[in-house]
Amino acid sequence: MATANFFKKCDDCGKKYLNEECYNYHKKGSNCRQTKICEKCGVIWSIKNYKREEQKQHVCGQKWCQICRQYHSIDRGCFIRPLEPKKSVPYRLVTFDFEATQNEKINNVNEERRLHKVNFIAATVTCTKCMEDGKIWRSPLNQNVISCSICGNNRSVTFSHQPFNQTKVDKQTITQNPLKDFIQWILFELNPQYSTMAFSHNGGRYDMVMVFREIYLKGVVPSMIRRGNKLYELKIPRNNKCNEVIFRDSYNLCPVALGKLIGAFGLQVTEKQFFPHLANIPENYGRTLQQLPLKSDYLYGGMPPQKQNEFDKWYEEEKNHQFCLDEALAEYCTNDVQILTEALIAFRKKFMEISKKKNTQPGSSQEGIDILRDAMTIASACMKHFRLNHLQPQHLAIVPEKGYENCDNQSELALKYLQWYEETRGVQIQSAHSEGGEHVVAGRYKIDGYIKEEDRAIEVNGCAWHACQKCFGNDLYKILPNGKTMAKTIEDDENRLAIIRRNIKNVDIIWECEIRQMLRRSKNMRKSFANYHNKGPINIRDCYFGGRTGPLQMYFDADAEQHKIGYLDFNSLYPSTIATTAFPVGHPKIHVVPLAEQKVNWNS
């Protein structure tokens, strides 16, 4: 609260105080030693931040940019930053796969709509330390003399309705709700000191959807990255309730079928098997069939022709073999998890070798990009590799949201008033739509209108945003639409105007309500406002409406008359252009052609 007849400026930090108690408090504390105020532009800047690097001394008009991570003026434009190497942090990798029954119909209305209930889960646990030695992470933990504090007590675990004997795992959990027990294990029973990266192949459309439901039922709400019904990431932050777990879809890193990962990475594992998903029903628990289930149980009709040929050959050779669902579930599911684990670890190792930053200092521990931790998709991984190893500073410019042409925000009322002022006074006013944009004072404050010949500033104040006392009264504690009180808004305006007046000889203030009164009295002014032509730039985002389609008929029943529907599409050259074409670096120099010179002959 201001004290009458008290005003003191601190000689050390330059701040001004209207209360003796506040002044004394700031001298006793660290505020005076940590920050200073610039007398030219009024910015309070941190001494500590600038002391770290000498080149970061305060310059009027420069601000800390969260995009570039450096100080620069708003006129310079932003750039995509080269990526700095990340310090390696140990984490736990969990690969898992779900198998589910689908014999229960939903509402018994449509046979094709079936409820998927998880009845078998296989998971493998490893970590960044165990990955360094293939013999360690491929063997059960209880066979190692030294246990792993990151992985826990078990390398491979399963959660199932039925026990099994032929497939070896470290731990079997027999439960009536495998999904519930799996979530309990991965969230609450692993070492909370380390984060868990959990991957399932194509899980964004299947496994992760069921994971999200179970997590939510436990009262844990994860952050989510998705597109429609496809989940890219579920992130459960570490807290006093559970560990930090990040679920991701490995298909976004390796966009091929799980079985093809074996050939892609040259894996020495058992080929992906065929499994009768429709025979996965409780009636087959504990039973041994004398031959394999029907072809239809393997979803034969949904296989592509090449896979059908492979299946036919396999089925003819194996159809007379006995089939035990309990053992087949364990063998099939653990094999899927083994393929995924081997592929992810091989991919991680290869990508770290490729992306390791060149020309690093001797003895540097930089290991390249960990694609499992640092990237959610293969596209983001490639971009990180480019930024780490190839991108030069201030090369790739970020196009401003509103384009390169004059993009200063200014109310239409202010622009109309300034145009009317120009017409009636015969002067030229620099405004938001002038070449170079608004006139800037002290590197910080933009002037609505500036007349260079008269050294005159014209400020058009919106009543709601600048605390017009005619419109909003004298209650200094009233909250305005800008979220500030009348008193705070008036104080900020006075400080801003004080700096403007130190730099500009004449400063005129016109209020929104005064302009509206003038409009009511002047017919010529109303006519000028009505004829106003917006000289501002186009909104770039207005062009992002997708391609156009031209159907010759909105609806046609092709089956009734055995006709085919034709579809023509234009293939975009955008990807090939990016891959083969040179790009300009930096921001372009903008040449704005005055409206009067923009003559276009539409007849030629």
Same domain? For 139 and 55 the reply is: no
- Structure-token match 């159907």, residue found: 551
148 and 186 share one domain = yes
pTM for the model stands at: 0.72
- Per the structure block, which two tokens stand in for 47? 């001494």
Q: How far is it, in rounded angstroms, from Cα 12 to Cα 288?
A: 88
The token duo for 217 is 């039922």
CA 155 to chain centre: 33
Distance CA 462, CA 477 (A): 19
In this prediction, residue 548 carries a pLDDT of: 58
d(CA 351, CA 464) in angstroms, rounded, equals: 56
Domain end, chosen from 499, 514, 530, is at 530
Res 226: pLDDT:
93
354 found inside a domain:
no
Q: Residue holding tokens 């492979």? A: 310
- 227 in a structural domain: yes
Of 499, 530, 561, the one marking the end of a domain is 530
Q: List the structure tokens of 78.
A: 């932003």
The 8-class DSSP code of residue 428 comes to -
Is residue 158 situated within a structural domain? Answer: yes
Helix (H) or strand (E) holding 579: helix 574-580
Q: CA 45: distance to chain centroid? A: 30
Same domain, 130 and 259: yes
Q: Please give the DSSP secondary-structure letter assigned to residue 212.
A: H
CATH value at residue 229: 3.30.420.10
Same domain, 61 and 201: no
- Same domain? For 103 and 64 the reply is no
* Residue numbers of the domain that contains 494: 412-530
Same domain, 100 and 236: yes
Last residue of a domain, one of 481, 502, 530: 530
Q: How many domains does the chain have?
A: 3
Using CA atoms, how far apart are residues 273 and 269, in angstroms rounded to an integer? 12
Residue 307 lies in a domain: no
| Domain match, 217 and 114 both | yes
pLDDT of residue 595: 61
How many Å separate Cα 101 from the centre of its chain? 35
Residue 587, SS3?
Answer: coil
Whether 179 and 259 map to the same domain: the answer is: yes
Is 165 within the bounds of a domain? Answer: yes
DSSP 360: P
Contact between 245 and 186 (Cβ < 8 Å): yes
Q: Does one domain contain both 71 and 101?
A: no
Q: Is residue 442 part of a domain?
A: yes
Two tokens, residue 338: 């083994």
The enclosing domain of 489 has a CATH number of 3.40.960
Residue 199 shares a structural domain with residue 339 = yes
Identify whether residues 152 and 251 lie together within a single domain. Answer: yes
**Ordered mean pLDDT values, 10 residues apiece, the chain (604 residues):** 72 81 82 80 72 65 78 80 87 97 75 85 95 84 71 93 94 96 95 95 95 92 91 92 93 95 93 94 94 93 92 93 95 96 96 81 67 95 93 87 64 90 92 81 86 93 90 86 86 90 92 94 93 75 63 70 71 80 84 69 70
Is residue 21 in a domain? yes
Both 186 and 226 in one domain: the answer is yes
Separation CA 217–CA 214 (nearest Å) = 5
Q: Is residue 305 part of a domain?
A: no
